Structure 1
Amino acid sequence: MEETFIDVADGDIVENIAVRKIRPNPFQPRRIFNEEALEELSQSIKEHGILQPIILRKTGNFYEIVAGERRFRATKKALIPEIPAVVRNYNDREMMELATLENLQREDLTPIEEAESYRKLMDALNMTQEVLAERLGKSRSYIANHVRLLTLPEDIQKMVDRGELSMGHGRALIGIKRKNIIPIVAKKVIDQQMNVRQLESYVHALNKDVSRVTKKKSVKNLYLDEAAAELRDYLGTSVSIKSSKNKGKIEIDFFSDEDLERIINLLKERGE
């Protein structure tokens, strides 16, 4: 049976609540529930019943789960019509904090689910990473490393969620300077079964190439970039300047005949 962060107190009244009137916690940080584990819990509930009531709050004619969603899902799977529960009054902020803290007591959250839990707590309670780390008994770097995973593209976060990439892989991918190639590199990691150390070396080599090209380009085209920016500000439209050896071209965007006429007049004024 799962451990629960919220204890049932001596004064609590345990009621049997119809399963059909119960809704999942809208602030539940967990998205992935292991079906095999749920099936095992469901069989246990059929044989032994529910050993610990779930915690609910009343919302209109229904109830929302504060703690015990795995027990609720397993009871529903067992086709049992009622579940023992304690009904308490919680506001949305308390609901989210309690649901998050309950899940953080367990060790099977995915790194992304854990990261989202930390971010939600910090946002809702207006606390820093340092304060949250102290409250949870973890280091600030531990919190920060998880939260940084949320800067990954959504598709990559799903790969971490599914276990196709580890948290270490995710952290290494964050370090890629050319963000648009992260999905390509992630696919390469999976296809070639790269471990974290191999990926870190690969990312280091990628970034070294990018730095070299960027440095060369910035020295060569500094004047052209400044000139394009000046024209862009003056003309109020996109301007690009391309050069090759001793020649080049200027490209100016316009979007209608009137816009073209406006740009021509501005160039004439500049020439005068």
Structure 2
Amino acid sequence: MADESRKRLGRGLAALMGDIDSEAEAIERSRTQRRIPIEFVRANPRNPRKTFAEDDLTDLTNSIKEKGIVQPILVRPVADETDSYELIAGERRWRAAQRAGLHEVPVLIHDVSDKEALEIAIIENVQRADLNPLEEALGYQQLMEEFQYTQQDLADVIAKSRSHVANTLRLLKLPNSVQDYLSEGLLTAGHARALITSDEPAALAEQIVEHGLSVREAERLGQEGLPEAKPKAPKKEKDADTKALEKALSDALGMKVSISHKDNETGSVQIKYKSLDQLEDLSKRLQG
């Protein structure tokens, strides 16, 4: 992809989203902005964003009820259909508007190709940090496979480093269980990158999630690997006298009694009760 093409896409996206304030572009936006019935708009099945946090949707719904939709939704006409538009960017606003009970939504209508629609959807979501790490990686992969983007092309358009793009794409090499943690927000991209070179990423990821490890702790775990499990010492068999004493005490108290001896002739006695009545009865006996 040529440098001029990359610059055009980056600037074009900013203009479409209302981030460039030149007079000519403002006039052009006002010409294409309309209010249409919300049922005329449909979701884009190729939108890279698949998950929408319930709390975020609830907050946005409440905001829309109070102030309406501040920024228009970006759509394109559906070919060969009347009064039908497909979302390019702004699906979260569209979902929240439905929850808020809006009958009409402000839209910017742009007649773009499938390629341009996917480019804008992916880049807009990345720039707004609306994608989880796995969705971002899948979006990059889709642009590279379908539209021959290079890693440098992506880095230029989304204003991130080439190493960021490369490291994000590497997340797709992780096992499915680790990718699921990423999708669910249980692991960050930093956690996941610490597992990429590990021989046992799934097991390490489980440890990170279970113990709530920080990225630095995850990096250390990735370098050192899981600690080897220590072999359990064989369970020492109780002698006949101990077993007999346990039985005698159990019969006398009506509760299960367990005696544990140590080599230095110390030990412990454990009494298990089945109800508070039994506990109260035991307490009276010990105090009496």
- Pairwise TM-score range, normalised by the shorter structure: 0.5 to 0.7
Asked if 2 retains the 8 angstrom alpha-carbon contact of 1:145 and 1:171, the reply is yes
Shift of 1:141: 1.0
Task: Give identity over the alignment, percent.
Answer: 38
| Partner residue, 1:47 | 66
Q: Which runs of 5+ in 1 are unaligned?
A: 210-272
User: What does 1:1-272 align with in structure 2 at a 5 Å threshold?
Assistant: 5=14, 6-7=16-17, 9=25, 10-11=27-28, 12-59=31-78, 60-61=81-82, 62-177=84-199, 181-206=200-225
**Distance change >3 Å, CA 169–CA 89, structure 1 → 2:** same
Shift of 1:13: 3.2
Which amino acid is 1:123 matched to?
A: E
Which amino acid is 1:46 matched to?
A: K
Name the SS for the 1:55 alignment partner: strand
Q: Which runs of 5+ in 2 are unaligned?
A: 1-12, 19-24, 229-288
1:195 and 1:45 map into 2 onto residues whose CA distance is 36
| Partner residue, 1:238 | none
TM-score (norm 1): 0.66
1:91 and 1:29 map into 2 onto residues whose CA distance is 16
Deviations, residues 66-120 of structure 1 (Å, cap 9, x unaligned): 1221221111011112212232211110110011111122134222222222222
Asked if 1 retains the 8 angstrom alpha-carbon contact of 2:32 and 2:110, the reply is no
Q: Which moved more, 1:5-14 or 1:117-126?
A: 5-14
Shift of 1:161: 2.3
| Partner residue, 1:242 | none
Shift of 1:154: 2.2
Name the SS for the 1:84 alignment partner: strand
Name the SS for the 1:159 alignment partner: helix
Mark the structure with the bigger radius of gyration.
Answer: 2
Shift of 1:206: 4.2
| Partner residue, 1:258 | none
Deviations, residues 164-203 of structure 1 (Å, cap 9, x unaligned): 12222211222123xxx43222212222333333333333
Asked if 2 retains the 8 angstrom alpha-carbon contact of 1:111 and 1:146, the reply is yes
Which amino acid is 1:30 matched to?
A: R
2:195 and 2:88 map into 1 onto residues whose CA distance is 35
Name the SS for the 1:174 alignment partner: coil
2:212 and 2:59 map into 1 onto residues whose CA distance is 32
Shift of 1:63: 1.4
2:218 and 2:93 map into 1 onto residues whose CA distance is 40
1:202 and 1:52 map into 2 onto residues whose CA distance is 44
Shift of 1:130: 2.1
TM-score (norm 2): 0.63
Asked if 2 retains the 8 angstrom alpha-carbon contact of 1:45 and 1:78, the reply is yes
**Distance change >3 Å, CA 47–CA 169, structure 1 → 2:** closer
Asked if 2 retains the 8 angstrom alpha-carbon contact of 1:42 and 1:77, the reply is yes
What is the count of residue pairs matched by the alignment?
202
Asked if 1 retains the 8 angstrom alpha-carbon contact of 2:58 and 2:96, the reply is yes
1:49 and 1:189 map into 2 onto residues whose CA distance is 41
**Distance change >3 Å, CA 153–CA 14, structure 1 → 2:** same
1:67 and 1:189 map into 2 onto residues whose CA distance is 34
Which amino acid is 2:55 matched to?
A: E
| Partner residue, 1:263 | none
